[in-house]
A and B are shown apart, each in its own frame.
Chain A
Amino acid sequence: QKEVEQDPGPLSVPEGAIVSLNCTYSNSAFQYFMWYRQYSRKGPELLMYTYSSGNKEDGRFTAQVDKSSKYISLFIRDSQPSDSATYLCAMGGGSNYKLTFGKGTLLTVNP
């Protein structure tokens, strides 16, 4: 079993839809959880960062962590064509801040 599992998609939605992206993990040592967005031919950029179970909201984006189920989600409300990108979940723990990434989900928002 891989440490981090993420459905690679692709996922195609109409503009304005609510998007749900998910990852599961097996390593109980993970303490912090991140979502990165990666546009084509660019490096990943941090979108959301959570340190505990629960929800964190930032504009149209909500990150959700359920440590008991080892499951994290990213919700995008009112999705826009500019949200079209690959979304990578990442998680880490320990003093060296090493991150383990999912495979990424390719999202396309159609106008």
Chain B
Amino acid sequence: EAGVAQSPRYKIIEKRQSVAFWCNPISGHATLYWYQQILGQGPKLLIQFQNNGVVDDSQLPKDRFSAERLKGVDSTLKIQPAKLEDSAVYLCASTGGGGETQYFGPGTRLLVL
């Protein structure tokens, strides 16, 4: 079974630029999560999708972050414009039906200069 795929693995941008991250969950997993992990911290949930609907986006900074999962499979997270404090690893995770176990991708490491 293929795991959660994410791309790109690394991204360096300047502040005020925009950036997008892509995630493809494990096949058949209906629930998809985006997390932000700042160095030395645990992952913080940004947004949770159930199929193509948003379940929880209470911690997503909506003035600059957006996410979509149009067909209920893969998802894109965008930051526009980026700030220095957005430097972090962005992790995508997915779960199957009725499962609490979240499977994580390798993450995208973002550096904002």
Least CB separation from B44: chain A residue: A101
B44–A43 contact, CB under 8 A?
no
Is B14 engaged at the interface, CB distance under 8 Å to the other chain? Answer: no
Contact residues of B between 87 and 113, Cβ < 8 Å to A: 91, 93, 95, 99-107, 109
B100–A43 contact, CB under 8 A?
no
Encode contact with A along B70-93: 1 for CB under 8 Å, 0 otherwise: 000000000000000000000101
Q: Size class of A's contact patch?
A: 20 to 34
Contact residues of A between 24 and 67, Cβ < 8 Å to B: 32, 34, 36, 41-46, 49
In the complex, 13 of the A-B residue pairs with CB atoms within 8 angstroms, ordered by the A residue number, are A41-B109, A44-B43, A44-B104, A46-B103, A88-B43, A90-B42, A96-B50, A97-B31, A97-B102, A98-B45, A98-B48, A102-B42, A104-B40
A43–B41 contact, CB under 8 A?
no
Cα A45 to Cα B101 in complex, Å, equals 10
Given the complex, which residues of A lie within 8 Å of B45, measured CB to CB? 98-99
Give the B interface residue count (CB, 8 A).
Answer: 25
Least CB separation from A95: chain B residue: B55
Cα A6 to Cα B40 in complex, Å, equals 12
Q: Is the interface of A mostly helix, strand, loop or mixed?
A: strand
Given A96-B48, A103-B42: A45 and B104 interface contact (C-beta under 8 Å): yes
Cα A99 to Cα B31 in complex, Å, equals 13
Given the complex, which residues of A lie within 8 Å of B40, measured CB to CB? 8, 103-104
Cα A4 to Cα B42 in complex, Å, equals 10
Given the complex, which residues of B lie within 8 Å of A4, measured CB to CB? 42
Encode contact with A along B9-43: 1 for CB under 8 Å, 0 otherwise: 00000000000000000000001000000001111
